[in-house]
Amino acid sequence: MDGLLLSAVMLGAQFATGFVVPRPTTPQALAAYVAAMATVLGSVSLLALVYFTIGNARGQTLGKRLVGTRVVHYRTRERLGWSRGLARAAMLFVLGLPAGLGYLSVLGPERRGWHDLASNAVVVSVPARPRAA
């Protein structure tokens, strides 16, 4: 869910940049176009790092809230905090670099990926709250 949200932000930023930067017809225009796209990619990546760090530190991102899960410390079942949240977010980026193959690490026996092991975290289900009448 979070990936879809960030993909929509990235797509919107690319469209906005594409409409602002004219089609490259010269080497200089191509260089400007590549620089604009690199700026968009860097900005959205920074936004994603901040989003996942805050979400991990607090226990839930918007996507985790929608699917009813929470990230907690493996032993204490408390929130991760800022340092572990940043470590987990940074590992999510590292896992995504080799064409997303690093995400397959969640298929292990404990169902914890390398990003969970690096931050000593686990994803748990959140019990549903009864609706008020």
pLDDT tens for the chain, residues 1 to 133 = 888 888 888 788 777 766 666 677 889 888 888 888 888 888 888 999 999 999 999 999 999 999 999 999 999 999 999 999 999 999 988 888 888 888 888 888 888 999 999 999 999 998 877 776 6
> Is 133 contained in some domain?
no
Q: Residue 99 corresponds to which tokens in the numbers above?
A: 């064409």
Domain that holds residue 17: 2-125
Say how many domains are in the chain.
Answer: 1
**Helical H segments across 22-80, by residue range:** 27-58, 62-67
Examine residue 132 and state whether it is found in any structural domain, yes or no. Answer: no
The answer, as to whether pTM is greater than 0.85, is no
Is the Cβ–Cβ distance between 71 and 56 less than 8 Å?
yes
Q: Is residue 100 part of a domain?
A: yes
